[in-house]
Amino acid sequence: MMNTPRIQRIKEKCKGLFGPSYQKHRSDSGLLYPGFVITVTLLSIFLAQASPNARWNGWDFHAERNATVNKAIQYTAQYKTPLTETGELLTHYRFESFGATDPDEVDVNAPMIALTFDDGPNPSNTARILDVLSANYSHATFFVVGTNAEQYQDTLKAISAAGCEIGNHTYNHANLTTISADEVAEQLEKVNRAVKKATGESTTVIRPPYGAYDEDLLAQLDAPVVLWDLDTEDWSSRDAQKVVEAVLTKVKDGDIVLMHDIYESTAEAVEIMVPKLKEQGFQIMSVSEMAEYKGKSLELGKAYGGFESSAQ
């Protein structure tokens, strides 16, 4: 092609347009654009998480709870009723079954149970249990011993923050029927001091170690006594699968279930059974919550094994 004077002038103009200054501008724009995209993306994620009602943060909901659901699904073949995802997730079962509009809403006509844990708190196992309860819109009652309560104050705070109930299980797991009245008072008061120091609240219910009580003890105590209906014997088996089977094959509406959060196998069992219980329609709550929804008053001088009946 001929390099005519006209073509030469056009080249000179283009050189001015796309010369060093243009290249610098292009380079700066190339850096600014990815930064703009990243900023907008992070802002969108923040806004989604900040809004509890936003449907578009569901990816986080699924990612956070899939591990728990998958653990439950591993045991599907062992039970007559297969585990299936209902709605978005097993934890949303009640939306489908009872038409709940709020995951924390309680249906007094639907079955409910109270899960209880003795001898803790334990920083690792109790935290795992609280995680699965929270993921499934559930609560429980933790009967703590003072020696652990003093040592693990942060775990007590976590129990309270999760909306769970803290009960008194004596300072060092003493048999309250074999010690003096002054010793009984000291065993319980030391637990209350540890719990109040961590949470600002005292314990609400008492579970005497070994389930041992008599009329004299009941007359002395300043909080209702809570026993249990279903003993998982997790302390004996130390086997998550056996604990799961003990609950799923026997539990019924109104039951108080006994477990211990000092065992890793129990924490694993809870991770498996809670989604399954929710899928079956059970509402899982603390002892005092269940008593309230069942229309029962927890009275002094009585020992409650469940809310179909009480023992004295």
* pLDDT confidence band for 109 (50 / 70 / 90): confident
Count how many domains the chain has: 2
pLDDT at position 55 over 60: no
Among 304, 241, 271, which residue's Cα sits nearest to residue 138? 271
Q: What count of other Cβ atoms lies within 10 Å of the Cβ of residue 250?
A: 13
The CA distance from 39 to 42, in Å, is 5
Give residue 37's domain range: 5-50
Residues 75 and 183 in one domain: yes
Catalytic residue, from 118, 119, 229, 261: name it: 118
- Domain membership of residue 61 (yes or no) is no
Quote the distance between the C-alpha of residue 110 and its chain's center: 20
Q: 263, exposed or middle or buried, with CB in 10 Å at 0-12, 13-18, 19+?
A: buried
Q: Are 279 and 273 in contact (CB under 8 A)?
A: no
Tokens 């709550």 map to which residue? 285
- Domain membership of residue 155 (yes or no) is yes
pLDDT at position 289 over 90: yes
pLDDT at residue number 85: 39
- Domain membership of residue 299 (yes or no) is yes
- Phi, psi (5° rounding) for residue 149? -60, -40
Catalytic residue, from 229, 234, 260, 261: name it: 260
Known catalytic residue at 62: no
- Domain membership of residue 86 (yes or no) is yes
The CA distance from 176 to 169, in Å, is 10
Provide the token pair at 194.
């540890």
Q: In terms of C-beta distances under 8 Å and separation of at least 24 residues, what long-range contacts does 91-98 make, across chains too?
A: 91/65, 91/135, 91/136, 91/137, 91/275, 91/278, 93/278, 93/279, 93/281, 94/278, 94/281, 94/283, 97/281, 98/281
* pLDDT confidence band for 52 (50 / 70 / 90): very low
Known catalytic residue at 260: yes
Q: Which amino acid does the sequence have at 82? A: P
Give Cα separations from 277 to 81, 230, 244, 284 (angstroms): 11, 15, 10, 8
Residues 22 and 73 in one domain: no
Residues 83 and 158 in one domain: yes
Residues 18 and 91 in one domain: no
pLDDT at residue number 92: 44
pLDDT at position 74 over 90: no
* pLDDT confidence band for 305 (50 / 70 / 90): confident
Residues 43 and 153 in one domain: no
Q: Are 96 and 235 in contact (CB under 8 A)?
A: no
Residues 42 and 176 in one domain: no
Query: pTM of this prediction?
Result: 0.69
For the segment 170-181, the average pLDDT, to the nearest whole number, is 97
For the segment 13-18, the average pLDDT, to the nearest whole number, is 52
Q: Which contiguous run of DSSP H or E holds residue 256?
A: strand 256-260
Q: Are 254 and 112 in contact (CB under 8 A)?
A: yes
pLDDT tens column, 221-264:
999 999 999 999 999 999 999 999 999 999 999 999 999 999 99
